[in-house]
A and B are shown apart, each in its own frame.
Chain A
Amino acid sequence: MTNVFLAQADIEAPPIDYAAILPMLIILGAACVGVLFEAFLPKHQRWPGQVTLSLLALAGAGVALGAYAGDSPERGVTTLSGTLAVDRPALFLWGTLLALALAALLLIADRSVEPGGAFVAQAGIAPGTVQDREQVGSTGMQTEVFPLTLFALGGMMAFTAANDLLTMFIALEVLSLPLYLMCGLARRRRLISQEAAVKYFLLGAFASAFFLYGLALLYGYAGSVRLADIANATAGTDRSDTLLFAGLGLLLVGLLFKGSVGPFHTWTPDVYQGAPTPITAFMAACTKVAAFGAILRVLTVAFETTNWEWRGVLWAVAIVSMLIGAVLGLTQTDVKRMIAYSSIAHAGFLLIGTMALTDEGLSGTMFYLLAYGFTTLAAFGVISLVRDSTGEATHLSAWAGLAKRSPLLAGVFTFLLLALAGIPLTSGFVGKFVVFSAALSDGMAPLVVIALVFSAVAAFFYLRVVVLMYFSEPAPEGPSVSVPGAFTTAAITLGVVVTLLLGVAPTFALDWAGAGGFALGS
Chain B
Amino acid sequence: MTVLLALILLPLAGALALTGLRSNDRLATITALAVSIVELLLIVPLWLAYDPGGERIQQASSMDWIPAFGVHISFGIDGIALLMIAVIALLVPIVIGALHSTDKLPEGRSAAGFLALILVQQALTIAVFAATDVFLFYVLFEIMLIPMYFLIGGYGGARRQYAAVKFFLYSFLGGLIMLASAIGAYSLAADELGQGTFDWATLVDVVSDAPASTQIWLFLGFFLAFAIKAPLVPFHTWLPDAAGQAPIGVTVLLVGVLDKVGTFGFLRYCLPMFPEGSERLAPLVLVLGVIGVIYGSMLAAGQQDMKRFVAYVSLAHFGFIAIGIFAFTQQAMVGSATYMLNHSIATGMLILVVGIIAARGGSTRISDYGGMAKVTPILGGMLLLAGLSTLSLPGTNSFISEFLVLLGAFETRPAYAIVATVGMVLAAAYVLWLYQRIMTGPVRGDALLGASPGPGAVEAPEAGAKKTIRDLSVTEIAVLAPLVVLVLGLGFYPKPVLDTVTPTVDATLTAVQER
Interface residues of A (CB under 8 A from B): 418, 421, 423-425, 429-430, 433, 436-437, 440-441, 445, 448-449, 452-453, 455-456, 459-460, 463-464, 467, 470-472, 506-507, 510-511, 514
- Bound complex: CA A430 to CA B67 (Å): 13
- Bound complex: CA A445 to CA B179 (Å): 12
Residues of A near B183 (CB, < 8 A) are 433, 436-437, 440, 448
- Bound complex: CA A423 to CA B146 (Å): 9
Residues of A near B150 (CB, < 8 A) are 470
Given A459-B172, A506-B66, A511-B68; A424-B139 close (CB under 8 Å) = yes
Selecting from B44-52, B85-93, B157-165, B343-351, the interface stretch reads: B157-165
B187 touches A437 (CB 8 A): yes
B190 touches A470 (CB 8 A): no
Residues of B near A421 (CB, < 8 A) are 172
Among A418, A456, A464, the residue within 8 A (CB) of B173 is A456
Residues of A near B184 (CB, < 8 A) are 440, 445
Residues of B within 8 A of A (CB-CB), count: 31
The answer, yes or no, to whether B138 is at the interface (CB within 8 Å) is: yes
The answer, yes or no, to whether B247 is at the interface (CB within 8 Å) is: no
**Nearest CB on A from B210, distance (A):** 14
- Bound complex: CA A455 to CA B176 (Å): 8
Given A424-B138, A436-B183, A445-B184; A452-B146 close (CB under 8 Å) = no
A460 touches B177 (CB 8 A): no
Interface residue SS majority, chain A: helix
B143 touches A424 (CB 8 A): yes
Which chain B residue shows the least CB distance to A421?
Answer: B172
Given A424-B138, A424-B139, A441-B190; A448-B164 close (CB under 8 Å) = no
15 more contacts with CB within 8 A, not counting A423-B142, A507-B67, are A424-B139, A424-B140, A425-B139, A436-B179, A440-B180, A441-B187, A448-B183, A455-B176, A456-B172, A459-B168, A459-B169, A463-B165, A467-B165, A471-B154, A471-B161
- Bound complex: CA A448 to CA B173 (Å): 13
Interface residues of B (CB under 8 A from A): 66-69, 138-140, 142-143, 146, 149-150, 153-154, 160-161, 164-165, 168-169, 172-173, 176-177, 179-180, 183-184, 186-187, 190
A452 touches B68 (CB 8 A): no
Residues of B near A456 (CB, < 8 A) are 169, 172-173, 176
Residues of B near A510 (CB, < 8 A) are 66, 68
A514 touches B68 (CB 8 A): yes
- Bound complex: CA A455 to CA B172 (Å): 9
Residues of B near A459 (CB, < 8 A) are 168-169, 172
Among A429, A449, A464, A472, the residue within 8 A (CB) of B177 is A449
**Nearest CB on A from B159, distance (A):** 11
Residues of B near A460 (CB, < 8 A) are 165, 169
Residues of A near B142 (CB, < 8 A) are 423-424, 429
- Bound complex: CA A506 to CA B64 (Å): 12
**Nearest CB on B from A485, distance (A):** 27
Given A437-B186, A459-B172; A467-B164 close (CB under 8 Å) = yes
B143 touches A425 (CB 8 A): yes
Residues of B near A433 (CB, < 8 A) are 69, 179, 183
**Nearest CB on B from A417, distance (A):** 12
Residues of B near A470 (CB, < 8 A) are 150, 153-154
Among A418, A425, A440, A471, the residue within 8 A (CB) of B187 is A440
In order of increasing CB-CB distance, the 10 nearest A-B pairs are: A424-B139, A456-B173, A452-B176, A437-B183, A441-B187, A471-B153, A510-B68, A471-B161, A424-B142, A440-B183
B161 touches A452 (CB 8 A): no
**Nearest CB on A from B293, distance (A):** 29
Residues of A near B160 (CB, < 8 A) are 471
Residues of A near B168 (CB, < 8 A) are 459, 463
Given A437-B187, A452-B177, A463-B169; A507-B66 close (CB under 8 Å) = yes
B179 touches A452 (CB 8 A): yes
Please name 30 pairs of A and B residues whose Cβ atoms are closer than 8 Å in the assembled complex, sorted by A. A418-B146, A423-B146, A423-B172, A430-B66, A433-B69, A436-B179, A436-B180, A437-B187, A440-B180, A440-B184, A445-B184, A449-B180, A452-B177, A455-B176, A456-B169, A456-B176, A459-B168, A460-B165, A463-B168, A467-B153, A467-B161, A467-B164, A470-B154, A471-B153, A471-B160, A471-B161, A471-B164, A507-B66, A507-B67, A510-B68
Residues of B near A463 (CB, < 8 A) are 149, 165, 168-169
Residues of B near A464 (CB, < 8 A) are 165
**Nearest CB on B from A427, distance (A):** 13
Which chain A residue shows the least CB distance to B190?
Answer: A441
Residues of A near B69 (CB, < 8 A) are 433, 437
Residues of B near A514 (CB, < 8 A) are 68
Which chain A residue shows the least CB distance to B155?
Answer: A471
Residues of B near A423 (CB, < 8 A) are 142-143, 146, 172
